[in-house]
Amino acid sequence: MLTTSQLTQLRKNLHQYPELSQQERETAERIVRQFEHFHADEVHRNLGGHGLAFVFSGTLPGPSTLIRCELDALPIEETNDFAHRSNVSGVSHKCGHDGHMAIITALGATLAEHRPQHGRVILCFQPAEETGTGAIDMVTDDKFSQLVPDYAFALHNYPGLALGHVAVRAGTFNCASRGMIIELRGKTSHAAHPEDGLSPALAMCQIIEQLSQLPQTLAEQDLAGKHWLTVIHAKLGEIAFGTAPGDAVVMATLRSETNQGMNALVEQAELLASRCAQQAGLEFNCRYDDVFQASVNSEEGCQRVVNACEKTTIPYHLMDQPMRWSEDFGQFTAVAKQGAMFALGAGVKSPQLHNPDYDFADELIPIGRDIFVSIIEDINGLS
Protein backbone atom coordinates (compact mmCIF):
# COMPACT_ATOMS: atom_id res chain seq x y z
CA MET A 1 0.00 0.00 0.00
CA LEU A 2 1.33 3.43 -0.92
CA THR A 3 1.49 5.97 1.89
CA THR A 4 -0.21 9.35 1.69
CA SER A 5 3.22 10.93 1.43
CA GLN A 6 4.20 8.71 -1.51
CA LEU A 7 0.96 9.47 -3.33
CA THR A 8 1.40 13.19 -2.79
CA GLN A 9 4.95 13.00 -4.13
CA LEU A 10 3.74 11.07 -7.18
CA ARG A 11 1.14 13.76 -7.85
CA LYS A 12 3.75 16.50 -7.58
CA ASN A 13 6.13 14.63 -9.89
CA LEU A 14 3.38 14.33 -12.49
CA HIS A 15 2.65 18.04 -12.02
CA GLN A 16 6.26 18.95 -12.78
CA TYR A 17 6.31 17.14 -16.12
CA PRO A 18 2.99 17.85 -17.89
CA GLU A 19 2.27 16.88 -21.48
CA LEU A 20 -0.36 18.17 -23.87
CA SER A 21 -3.15 16.11 -25.40
CA GLN A 22 -1.90 13.33 -27.70
CA GLN A 23 1.67 13.91 -26.46
CA GLU A 24 1.40 12.06 -23.12
CA ARG A 25 4.11 9.46 -23.83
CA GLU A 26 6.33 10.14 -20.79
CA THR A 27 3.35 10.56 -18.46
CA ALA A 28 2.09 7.12 -19.54
CA GLU A 29 5.54 5.63 -18.98
CA ARG A 30 5.63 7.04 -15.45
CA ILE A 31 2.30 5.39 -14.71
CA VAL A 32 3.41 2.06 -16.22
CA ARG A 33 6.53 2.04 -14.05
CA GLN A 34 4.43 2.71 -10.95
CA PHE A 35 1.93 -0.04 -11.79
CA GLU A 36 4.68 -2.62 -12.24
CA HIS A 37 4.60 -2.91 -8.44
CA PHE A 38 0.89 -3.79 -8.48
CA HIS A 39 1.08 -6.87 -10.73
CA ALA A 40 -2.09 -6.26 -12.72
CA ASP A 41 -3.45 -9.32 -14.53
CA GLU A 42 -3.46 -7.48 -17.85
CA VAL A 43 -1.74 -4.33 -19.07
CA HIS A 44 -3.00 -2.68 -22.26
CA ARG A 45 -0.96 0.13 -23.79
CA ASN A 46 -1.40 2.63 -26.61
CA LEU A 47 -5.18 2.70 -26.44
CA GLY A 48 -6.47 5.54 -28.61
CA GLY A 49 -3.02 7.10 -28.48
CA HIS A 50 -1.03 6.85 -25.24
CA GLY A 51 -3.95 5.46 -23.23
CA LEU A 52 -3.47 2.71 -20.65
CA ALA A 53 -5.68 0.08 -19.02
CA PHE A 54 -4.72 -2.12 -16.06
CA VAL A 55 -7.00 -5.09 -15.42
CA PHE A 56 -7.42 -6.72 -12.00
CA SER A 57 -9.41 -9.94 -12.30
CA GLY A 58 -11.44 -11.91 -9.77
CA THR A 59 -11.58 -15.68 -9.52
CA LEU A 60 -15.34 -15.78 -10.16
CA PRO A 61 -17.34 -14.51 -13.16
CA GLY A 62 -19.01 -11.15 -12.81
CA PRO A 63 -19.33 -7.64 -14.25
CA SER A 64 -16.50 -5.43 -15.51
CA THR A 65 -16.10 -2.09 -13.75
CA LEU A 66 -14.01 0.63 -15.40
CA ILE A 67 -12.60 3.56 -13.43
CA ARG A 68 -11.16 6.33 -15.59
CA CYS A 69 -8.75 9.24 -15.16
CA GLU A 70 -6.94 11.53 -17.62
CA LEU A 71 -3.29 11.86 -18.70
CA ASP A 72 -3.14 15.27 -20.40
CA ALA A 73 -2.34 18.80 -19.30
CA LEU A 74 -3.18 22.25 -20.72
CA PRO A 75 -1.31 24.90 -22.77
CA ILE A 76 -1.25 27.32 -19.82
CA GLU A 77 1.80 29.01 -18.28
CA GLU A 78 1.83 28.33 -14.54
CA THR A 79 2.16 31.33 -12.23
CA ASN A 80 2.72 29.38 -8.99
CA ASP A 81 6.22 29.45 -7.51
CA PHE A 82 6.12 26.33 -5.30
CA ALA A 83 8.80 23.65 -5.60
CA HIS A 84 6.71 21.32 -7.78
CA ARG A 85 5.72 23.94 -10.37
CA SER A 86 5.73 22.86 -14.01
CA ASN A 87 9.13 22.43 -15.62
CA VAL A 88 7.63 22.73 -19.10
CA SER A 89 7.24 26.25 -20.44
CA GLY A 90 3.66 27.06 -21.39
CA VAL A 91 2.25 23.70 -20.24
CA SER A 92 0.77 22.82 -16.84
CA HIS A 93 -1.75 20.62 -15.03
CA LYS A 94 -4.42 23.27 -14.51
CA CYS A 95 -7.37 20.88 -14.56
CA GLY A 96 -6.15 18.52 -11.84
CA HIS A 97 -5.47 15.51 -14.01
CA ASP A 98 -2.25 14.98 -12.05
CA GLY A 99 -4.40 14.51 -8.94
CA HIS A 100 -6.86 12.25 -10.75
CA MET A 101 -3.96 10.03 -11.83
CA ALA A 102 -2.71 9.88 -8.24
CA ILE A 103 -6.18 8.79 -7.07
CA ILE A 104 -6.36 5.95 -9.59
CA THR A 105 -2.79 4.94 -8.75
CA ALA A 106 -3.83 4.77 -5.09
CA LEU A 107 -6.72 2.58 -6.20
CA GLY A 108 -4.27 0.33 -8.06
CA ALA A 109 -2.25 -0.08 -4.88
CA THR A 110 -5.41 -1.15 -3.04
CA LEU A 111 -6.37 -3.65 -5.74
CA ALA A 112 -2.88 -5.10 -5.65
CA GLU A 113 -3.60 -6.25 -2.08
CA HIS A 114 -7.36 -6.81 -2.37
CA ARG A 115 -8.31 -8.31 -5.71
CA PRO A 116 -11.95 -8.22 -6.88
CA GLN A 117 -13.80 -11.39 -5.93
CA HIS A 118 -15.82 -11.65 -9.14
CA GLY A 119 -15.63 -10.00 -12.52
CA ARG A 120 -12.82 -7.54 -13.13
CA VAL A 121 -11.80 -3.96 -12.47
CA ILE A 122 -10.24 -1.90 -15.25
CA LEU A 123 -8.21 1.17 -14.30
CA CYS A 124 -8.10 3.42 -17.33
CA PHE A 125 -5.72 6.32 -17.99
CA GLN A 126 -7.18 8.25 -20.92
CA PRO A 127 -5.30 10.58 -23.26
CA ALA A 128 -6.52 13.83 -24.82
CA GLU A 129 -9.50 14.65 -22.62
CA GLU A 130 -8.92 18.37 -23.04
CA THR A 131 -9.51 18.23 -26.81
CA GLY A 132 -12.53 15.93 -26.59
CA THR A 133 -10.91 13.25 -28.77
CA GLY A 134 -9.34 10.89 -26.22
CA ALA A 135 -12.36 8.96 -24.96
CA ILE A 136 -13.80 8.28 -28.38
CA ASP A 137 -10.37 7.26 -29.67
CA MET A 138 -10.08 4.78 -26.81
CA VAL A 139 -13.51 3.18 -27.09
CA THR A 140 -13.22 2.86 -30.88
CA ASP A 141 -9.71 1.36 -30.69
CA ASP A 142 -9.87 -2.30 -31.74
CA LYS A 143 -7.97 -3.26 -28.58
CA PHE A 144 -10.75 -1.81 -26.42
CA SER A 145 -13.10 -4.58 -27.57
CA GLN A 146 -11.42 -6.76 -24.91
CA LEU A 147 -12.23 -4.19 -22.23
CA VAL A 148 -15.86 -3.17 -22.80
CA PRO A 149 -17.21 -2.53 -19.27
CA ASP A 150 -20.59 -3.06 -17.67
CA TYR A 151 -20.03 -0.07 -15.37
CA ALA A 152 -17.91 3.05 -15.81
CA PHE A 153 -17.10 5.70 -13.17
CA ALA A 154 -14.94 8.81 -12.96
CA LEU A 155 -14.54 11.92 -10.86
CA HIS A 156 -13.46 15.48 -11.45
CA ASN A 157 -12.22 17.84 -8.78
CA TYR A 158 -14.41 20.90 -8.52
CA PRO A 159 -13.34 24.29 -7.12
CA GLY A 160 -16.19 26.13 -5.43
CA LEU A 161 -17.49 23.00 -3.70
CA ALA A 162 -16.44 22.34 -0.10
CA LEU A 163 -13.23 20.33 0.15
CA GLY A 164 -13.94 16.60 0.00
CA HIS A 165 -17.67 16.95 -0.59
CA VAL A 166 -19.31 15.13 -3.51
CA ALA A 167 -21.86 16.43 -6.02
CA VAL A 168 -23.65 14.06 -8.39
CA ARG A 169 -26.88 13.69 -10.33
CA ALA A 170 -28.63 11.21 -12.59
CA GLY A 171 -29.06 12.28 -16.21
CA THR A 172 -26.82 14.86 -17.85
CA PHE A 173 -23.82 15.63 -15.65
CA ASN A 174 -21.72 17.62 -18.15
CA CYS A 175 -23.10 19.66 -21.02
CA ALA A 176 -22.44 18.98 -24.69
CA SER A 177 -20.22 21.60 -26.31
CA ARG A 178 -18.32 22.35 -29.50
CA GLY A 179 -16.33 25.12 -31.12
CA MET A 180 -17.98 26.54 -34.25
CA ILE A 181 -15.81 28.18 -36.92
CA ILE A 182 -17.66 30.25 -39.55
CA GLU A 183 -15.63 31.33 -42.58
CA LEU A 184 -16.85 34.05 -44.94
CA ARG A 185 -15.23 34.80 -48.29
CA GLY A 186 -15.90 37.82 -50.48
CA LYS A 187 -13.45 39.81 -52.59
CA THR A 188 -10.77 42.30 -51.61
CA SER A 189 -10.42 45.67 -53.30
CA HIS A 190 -8.50 48.89 -52.88
CA ALA A 191 -9.73 50.77 -49.82
CA ALA A 192 -10.25 53.80 -52.09
CA HIS A 193 -12.73 51.77 -54.17
CA PRO A 194 -14.56 49.42 -51.77
CA GLU A 195 -17.45 49.21 -54.24
CA ASP A 196 -15.23 47.11 -56.53
CA GLY A 197 -14.90 44.39 -53.90
CA LEU A 198 -17.21 42.37 -51.67
CA SER A 199 -16.67 42.98 -47.97
CA PRO A 200 -17.92 40.49 -45.35
CA ALA A 201 -17.91 43.19 -42.64
CA LEU A 202 -21.65 43.70 -42.35
CA ALA A 203 -22.46 39.98 -42.55
CA MET A 204 -19.87 39.26 -39.86
CA CYS A 205 -21.47 41.80 -37.52
CA GLN A 206 -24.94 40.40 -38.22
CA ILE A 207 -23.77 36.86 -37.51
CA ILE A 208 -22.19 37.89 -34.21
CA GLU A 209 -25.36 39.71 -33.13
CA GLN A 210 -27.74 36.92 -34.16
CA LEU A 211 -25.61 34.12 -32.71
CA SER A 212 -25.57 35.92 -29.37
CA GLN A 213 -29.39 36.04 -29.40
CA LEU A 214 -29.84 32.41 -30.47
CA PRO A 215 -30.00 30.75 -26.99
CA GLN A 216 -32.89 33.03 -26.03
CA THR A 217 -34.66 32.24 -29.30
CA LEU A 218 -34.34 28.50 -28.68
CA ALA A 219 -35.50 28.93 -25.07
CA GLU A 220 -38.66 30.66 -26.31
CA GLN A 221 -39.21 27.67 -28.62
CA ASP A 222 -38.56 25.30 -25.69
CA LEU A 223 -36.08 23.21 -27.69
CA ALA A 224 -34.38 20.51 -25.58
CA GLY A 225 -33.32 22.27 -22.41
CA LYS A 226 -30.92 25.14 -21.79
CA HIS A 227 -28.39 26.43 -24.32
CA TRP A 228 -25.46 28.82 -24.25
CA LEU A 229 -23.48 30.41 -27.09
CA THR A 230 -20.38 32.52 -26.57
CA VAL A 231 -18.68 34.33 -29.45
CA ILE A 232 -15.01 33.91 -28.58
CA HIS A 233 -13.20 35.37 -31.62
CA ALA A 234 -13.74 37.32 -34.82
CA LYS A 235 -11.33 38.44 -37.55
CA LEU A 236 -12.00 40.73 -40.50
CA GLY A 237 -9.45 41.07 -43.29
CA GLU A 238 -5.88 42.08 -42.54
CA ILE A 239 -4.25 45.12 -40.96
CA ALA A 240 -3.75 46.98 -44.23
CA PHE A 241 -5.27 50.46 -44.52
CA GLY A 242 -5.06 50.37 -48.29
CA THR A 243 -7.17 47.21 -48.63
CA ALA A 244 -10.90 46.66 -48.17
CA PRO A 245 -11.37 43.20 -46.59
CA GLY A 246 -12.49 40.11 -48.47
CA ASP A 247 -12.44 37.47 -45.74
CA ALA A 248 -13.79 37.09 -42.22
CA VAL A 249 -13.95 34.44 -39.51
CA VAL A 250 -16.31 34.17 -36.54
CA MET A 251 -15.71 31.60 -33.81
CA ALA A 252 -18.18 30.64 -31.10
CA THR A 253 -18.54 28.04 -28.36
CA LEU A 254 -21.89 26.25 -28.45
CA ARG A 255 -23.13 24.55 -25.29
CA SER A 256 -26.29 22.61 -24.45
CA GLU A 257 -27.64 20.43 -21.66
CA THR A 258 -28.38 17.54 -24.02
CA ASN A 259 -27.09 16.06 -27.26
CA GLN A 260 -30.54 16.65 -28.74
CA GLY A 261 -30.31 20.29 -27.71
CA MET A 262 -26.86 20.58 -29.27
CA ASN A 263 -28.22 19.28 -32.58
CA ALA A 264 -30.91 21.95 -32.51
CA LEU A 265 -28.39 24.65 -31.60
CA VAL A 266 -26.02 23.61 -34.41
CA GLU A 267 -28.83 23.50 -36.96
CA GLN A 268 -30.09 26.98 -36.07
CA ALA A 269 -26.58 28.49 -35.85
CA GLU A 270 -25.64 27.16 -39.28
CA LEU A 271 -28.95 28.34 -40.75
CA LEU A 272 -28.59 31.93 -39.57
CA ALA A 273 -24.90 32.12 -40.59
CA SER A 274 -25.71 30.73 -44.03
CA ARG A 275 -28.62 33.16 -44.45
CA CYS A 276 -26.46 36.18 -43.57
CA ALA A 277 -23.73 35.01 -45.98
CA GLN A 278 -26.16 34.42 -48.85
CA GLN A 279 -27.83 37.79 -48.40
CA ALA A 280 -24.40 39.42 -48.70
CA GLY A 281 -23.41 37.30 -51.71
CA LEU A 282 -20.55 35.67 -49.79
CA GLU A 283 -19.11 32.18 -49.93
CA PHE A 284 -19.73 30.39 -46.64
CA ASN A 285 -18.14 27.47 -44.81
CA CYS A 286 -18.71 26.08 -41.32
CA ARG A 287 -16.58 23.58 -39.40
CA TYR A 288 -16.18 22.40 -35.80
CA ASP A 289 -13.45 21.72 -33.27
CA ASP A 290 -13.32 20.49 -29.63
CA VAL A 291 -16.55 18.50 -29.96
CA PHE A 292 -17.85 17.05 -26.66
CA GLN A 293 -20.99 14.94 -26.29
CA ALA A 294 -23.03 15.35 -23.12
CA SER A 295 -21.84 13.11 -20.29
CA VAL A 296 -24.90 11.27 -18.97
CA ASN A 297 -25.11 9.41 -15.64
CA SER A 298 -27.43 6.43 -15.31
CA GLU A 299 -29.84 6.22 -12.40
CA GLU A 300 -28.04 3.13 -11.08
CA GLY A 301 -24.61 4.69 -11.53
CA CYS A 302 -25.65 7.79 -9.59
CA GLN A 303 -27.11 5.67 -6.81
CA ARG A 304 -23.91 3.65 -6.49
CA VAL A 305 -21.95 6.88 -5.97
CA VAL A 306 -24.47 7.96 -3.34
CA ASN A 307 -24.21 4.55 -1.63
CA ALA A 308 -20.42 4.83 -1.57
CA CYS A 309 -20.57 8.30 0.00
CA GLU A 310 -22.97 7.08 2.68
CA LYS A 311 -20.82 4.05 3.42
CA THR A 312 -17.63 6.14 3.72
CA THR A 313 -19.46 9.04 5.50
CA ILE A 314 -18.38 11.48 2.80
CA PRO A 315 -20.79 14.45 2.51
CA TYR A 316 -22.70 14.62 -0.78
CA HIS A 317 -25.56 16.44 -2.44
CA LEU A 318 -27.69 15.80 -5.52
CA MET A 319 -27.40 18.52 -8.13
CA ASP A 320 -30.43 20.23 -9.65
CA GLN A 321 -28.62 21.26 -12.82
CA PRO A 322 -25.74 19.73 -14.84
CA MET A 323 -22.25 21.20 -14.92
CA ARG A 324 -21.86 23.64 -17.79
CA TRP A 325 -18.30 22.57 -18.52
CA SER A 326 -17.76 19.65 -20.85
CA GLU A 327 -16.17 16.23 -20.45
CA ASP A 328 -15.73 13.33 -22.85
CA PHE A 329 -16.35 10.66 -20.18
CA GLY A 330 -19.83 10.22 -21.67
CA GLN A 331 -18.24 8.01 -24.32
CA PHE A 332 -17.55 5.42 -21.60
CA THR A 333 -21.01 5.52 -20.01
CA ALA A 334 -22.53 5.25 -23.49
CA VAL A 335 -20.59 2.00 -23.98
CA ALA A 336 -21.09 0.67 -20.45
CA LYS A 337 -24.77 1.72 -20.16
CA GLN A 338 -24.37 2.00 -16.37
CA GLY A 339 -22.12 4.43 -14.54
CA ALA A 340 -21.55 7.99 -13.45
CA MET A 341 -19.15 10.87 -13.13
CA PHE A 342 -19.19 12.89 -9.92
CA ALA A 343 -17.61 16.10 -8.69
CA LEU A 344 -15.22 16.05 -5.73
CA GLY A 345 -14.97 19.42 -4.02
CA ALA A 346 -11.57 21.13 -4.26
CA GLY A 347 -12.50 23.83 -1.74
CA VAL A 348 -14.61 26.97 -1.78
CA LYS A 349 -11.56 29.25 -2.06
CA SER A 350 -9.62 27.18 -4.61
CA PRO A 351 -8.69 28.94 -7.86
CA GLN A 352 -10.91 27.80 -10.69
CA LEU A 353 -9.96 25.08 -13.16
CA HIS A 354 -7.76 26.33 -16.03
CA ASN A 355 -6.60 29.31 -13.94
CA PRO A 356 -2.79 29.80 -14.06
CA ASP A 357 -2.53 29.65 -10.24
CA TYR A 358 -4.65 26.51 -9.77
CA ASP A 359 -3.16 23.45 -8.05
CA PHE A 360 -4.78 20.15 -7.11
CA ALA A 361 -5.65 19.64 -3.43
CA ASP A 362 -3.70 16.58 -2.28
CA GLU A 363 -6.18 15.95 0.55
CA LEU A 364 -8.55 14.62 -2.11
CA ILE A 365 -6.35 11.64 -3.05
CA PRO A 366 -7.44 9.27 -0.23
CA ILE A 367 -11.04 10.53 -0.41
CA GLY A 368 -11.34 9.78 -4.11
CA ARG A 369 -9.70 6.40 -3.64
CA ASP A 370 -12.07 5.44 -0.82
CA ILE A 371 -15.16 6.30 -2.88
CA PHE A 372 -13.98 4.15 -5.77
CA VAL A 373 -13.01 1.29 -3.44
CA SER A 374 -16.52 1.36 -1.99
CA ILE A 375 -18.11 1.33 -5.46
CA ILE A 376 -15.94 -1.61 -6.54
CA GLU A 377 -16.65 -3.51 -3.35
CA ASP A 378 -20.37 -3.04 -3.96
CA ILE A 379 -20.21 -4.30 -7.57
CA ASN A 380 -17.34 -6.80 -7.63
CA GLY A 381 -16.54 -7.54 -4.00
CA LEU A 382 -12.98 -7.36 -2.66
CA SER A 383 -10.85 -10.11 -1.15
pLDDT grade for 218, boundaries at 50, 70 and 90: confident
**What is the residue-averaged pLDDT of the chain?**
96
Instruction: List the domain range (segments joined by +) for residue 120.
Output: 4-173+296-380
Q: End of a domain among 292, 316, 337? A: 292
Residues 101 and 163 in one domain: yes
* CB 74 within 8 Å of CB 94: yes
Mean pLDDT of 29-35: 98
Q: What is the pLDDT of residue 360?
A: 98
Q: What is the pLDDT of residue 45?
A: 98
SS3 state of residue 46: strand
Residues 302 and 162 in one domain: yes
Q: Where are any strands of DSSP class E within the chain? A: 42-47, 51-57, 60-70, 118-126, 151-159, 166-168, 171-174, 176-185, 189-190, 227-236, 243-244, 247-256, 283-292, 295-297, 316-318, 338-347
Q: What is the pLDDT of residue 376?
A: 98
Residues 161 and 31 in one domain: yes
pLDDT grade for 221, boundaries at 50, 70 and 90: confident
Q: End of a domain among 257, 292, 327? A: 292
| CATH number of the domain residue 75 falls in | 3.40.630.10
Mean pLDDT of 158-165: 98
Residues 168 and 183 in one domain: no
Residue 43 has pLDDT above 80, yes or no: yes
**Domain count across the chain:** 2
- Helix extents (H) in 313-363: 330-336
Query: pTM of the entire structure?
Result: 0.92
Mean pLDDT of 215-241: 89
Residues 226 and 257 in one domain: yes
Residues 156 and 280 in one domain: no
Lowest-confidence segment of 38-42, 78-82, 217-221 by average pLDDT: 217-221
Q: End of a domain among 292, 310, 337? A: 292
Q: pLDDT tens digits, residue range 89-141?
A: 999 999 999 999 999 999 999 999 999 999 999 999 999 999 999 999 999 99
Q: What is the pLDDT of residue 224?
A: 63
